[in-house]
Structure 1
Amino acid sequence: MMSSLVAFVGAAFLIAMVPGPSTAVILRRAVMNGRVNGMATVLGNECGVLLWGLAAAFGLSALLLASRLAYDAMRITGAVVLVYMGARALWKARHATEAEEEAPQPSAVSHGRAFWQGAITNFANPKAGVFAVSFLPQFVPHGAPVLATLVLFSMIWAAIDMIWYLPMVWLAGRARTVLQRASVRRRMEQVSGIVLVGLGIRLAAES
């Protein structure tokens, strides 16, 4: 069990390092609205990770492998979510007024909204479900209780993902102190919007 656990922790760290839609959403929220909102987005993202892990443990995410219709429905839903968030960021950047140049603080976003953005971004991605159902069972040692082990691995997976994002959010929040000019914020909204729209289009186009 210990060797399986060590191998799983190492693999989970490698997986966490791969950038994706969640990374883009978390960094955008941390830079635009501060570390607390960034952490709220991380917590939402980890709830999504945990839910996918638990779904794999209980066999629910196997439906995404068995049903092309279920996978495509999740894929299109995830793509719509990403494109919507990206388009919203581009709209905000496009319609920023000159008065914002004299008001350097961006509009506030509630911690609850940041949390749900993180959760929806992660849970609307069917790749996470397919990955969970194919990744987690590989590390269950022979003779171990499968359900209990998968639940444990799901919690460890979410914790490792959070550990990876914590310093990222801290650095993004620190960079925010030098990114207070409205023109710089608008540029960042444009970049993050383009990235999110691109990720959404890629997800929609993939089979």
Structure 2
Amino acid sequence: MLTFAAAALLLIMIPGPDQALITRNALVGGRSAGLFTMVGGMLGLSVHVSAASLGVSALLVASATAFTALKVIGTLYLVWMGISTLRSARNRARQGDGTAPAQSLSWGQCLRQGFLSNALNPKVALFFVTFLPQFLPETGRTLGSALKFSVVFVLLYLMWFSLYTVTVDRFGAFLRRPVVRQRIERSTGALLIAFGIRLALQH
């Protein structure tokens, strides 16, 4: 369990679409927006966790058609989010705005964005199909063990991104300065597009 927890935490800490979206929404809508995005990401993650534990993800990975369909949808979503972020940064630069968080993100928007970023990512399904079985017993009933490890992964996800969101919000006064915020939004938008392109190239 300790080996699994350590490996899982390192994998969670690797920058990805989750971190990009949480950073963006925390800067735009404050701590609550970042936390709701994180909860949405956790719900999307739970879809793949449950599917992997029940063996459904293995069917997805085995089907080239299903994998490609989910990959295309996920790619379009990430690219769309990246373009939206770049447009937001450009509009803010024109208006000279950015000194305070804009109260334009509802909790529903944040939940949906976080959920879709994970639920539409077949690489998350592929990860659980290849990573989780390494820690399961070779004989006996594996469903209970799979669910136990999956719960640990989700809890580590919540712990890490809760700390990350609070840290972003704590330095919010500096990060929301017009020049800094515009640079972060531009970088975040470019990263989301890059994540989408990388997902499109995934076999």
Length-normalised TM-score, structure 1: 0.89
Instruction: Give yes or no for the alignment of 1:159 onto 2:178.
Output: no
Q: Which of the numbers 26, 34, 37 marks the counterpart of 2:33? A: 37
Of 135-144 and 107-116, more deviation after overlay is shown by 135-144
Q: Is the 8 A contact 2:27 2:101 kept in 1?
A: no
How many Å apart are 1:109 and its aligned residue? 0.5
2:4 to 2, 8, 13: 8
Matches within 5 A, 1:111-122: 111-122=107-118
1:24 maps to 2:17:
no
Q: Which runs of 5+ in 2 are unaligned?
A: none
1:52-71 correspondence to structure 2 within 5 Å: 52-71=48-67
Opposite residue 155 of structure 2, the aligned amino acid is A
Match of 1:182 among 178, 181, 188: 178
Distance 1:54 1:102, change over 3 A: closer
Aligned to 1:110: 106
Measured after TM superposition, the shift of residue 64 of structure 1 is 2.4
Partner of 1:84: 80
> Counterparts of 1:76 and 1:98 in 2: how far apart (Å)?
33
Mark the CA change 1:130 to 1:102 in structure 2 (over 3 Å): closer, same or farther: closer
Superposed CA RMSD: 1.9
CA contact under 8 A between 1:32 and 1:106: conserved in structure 2? Answer: yes
Equivalent pair of 1:47/1:158 in contact (CA under 8 Å): no
**Alignment-mate amino acid for residue 91 of structure 2:** H
Paired-residue identity, % = 35
8 A contact 1:85–1:193 mirrored in 2: yes
In the alignment, the residues of structure 2 paired with residue 104 and residue 129 of structure 1 have an alpha-carbon distance, to the nearest angstrom, of 37
Shift of 1:140: 1.7
Decide which of 50, 68, 71 is 1:72's aligned counterpart. 68
How far off its partner does 1:97 sit? 6.5
Q: In structure 1, give the amino acid aligned to 2:187.
A: V
Q: What is the TM-score normalised by the length of structure 2?
A: 0.91
Runs of 5+ unmatched residues, structure 1: none
Deviations 1:69-128 (A, max 9, x none): 111111111111110001011111222375553864424201121111111101111011
Q: Partner of 2:135 in structure 1?
A: 139
Question: Counterpart of 1:71 in 2: which secondary structure?
Answer: helix
> What's the CA shift for 1:6?
2.2
Change (3 A) 1:11 1:180: closer
